[in-house]
Amino acid sequence: MKKTTTRLADGRELVHYDSRDDAVRDTVDHRPLDATSTASEIRRDPLRGDWVAIASHRQGRTYHPPADECPLCPSRDGRLSEIPSDDYDVVVFENRFPSLIGPPGPQSAEDERGLFARRPAAGRCEVVCFTSDHDASFADLTPEQAALVLEVWTDRTAELSELPGVEQVFCFENRGREIGVTLSHSHGQIYAYPFVTPRTESTLRELAAHRDRTGGRNLFDDVLAAERADAARVVIDGDHWTAFVPHAAHWPYEVHLYPRRRVPDLPALDDAARAEFPHVYLEVLRRFDRVFGPDEPPTPYISAWHQAPVHHPDRREFGLHLELFTVRRSKGKLKFLAGSESGMNVFVNDVPPETAAARLREVATPGFRLTAHR
């Protein structure tokens, strides 16, 4: 992998990741862009104990542009985009409309009791373009292309983890208008948070409680072992990765992908896990697109890497994993978060996890065998 770093016209960083070592990336961004202007902060909710990013400048972000004005396509035929090159393998650049940006700053409160805490929305938000092909989805990538994306996620995780004030790095992809995606070109994002997210804090509490309750056992190890032993919810079981529908799935179709050897984050994966991952992940994505039948449009989904916080004392106990889920519950029907889910965070799932797993096994690619890739 070759990494080439440059700057866009407004000063934002852009990084080319190429599979070929002889790739040359010397194109200049000629757009007449002013320096980016942001007005973001994070505010602490005194009742929930979590942080909310307030970023009014994001109201002006690009919204469903036509294909011939896509900002994530290469710059070609006189049309200039966010990527100055006329082609690329994978590109990462700073988001023009970030929720989090800049170095850490002091916390303050606007009331005498200190309830309304706020501080700068420090951190970084990046866009990851998986391919220069506007019409391709991640599932259309070759294993070699997917392996390059994995290397990019790994490199960005390592680099962003070194930024002052960053506590957690989150790599993710949103696909489909139903999810809220406003740019159809295949891409993901990376957030470098200045705090540990509420979801991860909850997991860390369960991790510690399980360790205390079982005399030192690891929760991630035990969950993976139990799912593999039960097998009813296992979708794909490889030498180095296991994909399964979790016992208490929140979403109609939800798959968790665990490395068989527990590691805290992407940089800690070994070569064998890296080699097998593209084949398992691409197969799961392709099954997601088939699960509702051939007449349905591509399945909308969120794919989220859960990594250990950068500085947490229990980070070595945390288990890296990927969670993939869709908001589609059946043909032509979406699962909307209603009162119980949105108001109380208590999910109600219409599809039994065992049924979802059986369906995902049923729509396997004909002839798919992981043994061919070991």
Q: How far apart are CA 336 and CA 252, in angstroms?
A: 11
Instruction: Report which DSSP code applies to 281.
Output: H
Q: What is the pLDDT of residue 372?
A: 45
Q: Which ranges of the chain have pLDDT less than 50?
A: 372-374
Sequence-distant (≥ 6) Cβ neighbours of residue 82 within 8 angstroms = 8, 14, 71, 72, 93, 96, 127
Instruction: Specify whether the CB–CB gap between 74 and 86 falls below 8 A.
Output: yes
Q: Are strands 108-109 and 90-94 parallel, antiparallel or unpaired?
A: unpaired
- Cβ within 8 Å of residue 228, ≥6 positions away: 234, 237, 242, 244
Smallest Cα–Cα separation from 141: which of 235, 276, 281, 240?
281
309 touches 196 (CB < 8 A) = yes
Please give the torsion angle defined by the CA atoms of residues 217, 220, 225 and 231, in that order, rounded to the nearest 10 degrees. Answer: 150
What is the per-residue DSSP string for 158-177?
Answer: HHHTTSTT--EEEEEEEESG
Residue 219 token pair: 């929760």
- Say how far apart CA 70 and CA 187 lie, in whole Å: 12
Burial 159-169 (b: 16+ CB within 10 A, else e): bbbebebbbbb
Rounded distance between C-alpha atoms, residue 185 and residue 187, angstroms: 6
- What does the pLDDT read at residue 374? 44
Return d(Cα 238, Cα 370) in angstroms, integer.
7
From 187, 240, 256, 321, active-site residue: 187
> Domains, the chain, ranges and CATH?
2-194 (3.30.428.10), 199-373 (3.30.428.10)
Structural contact between residues 174 and 302, judged by C-beta atoms closer than 8 angstroms: yes
Active-site residue 187, yes or no?
yes
195 and 312 Cβ atoms separated by less than 8 Å: no
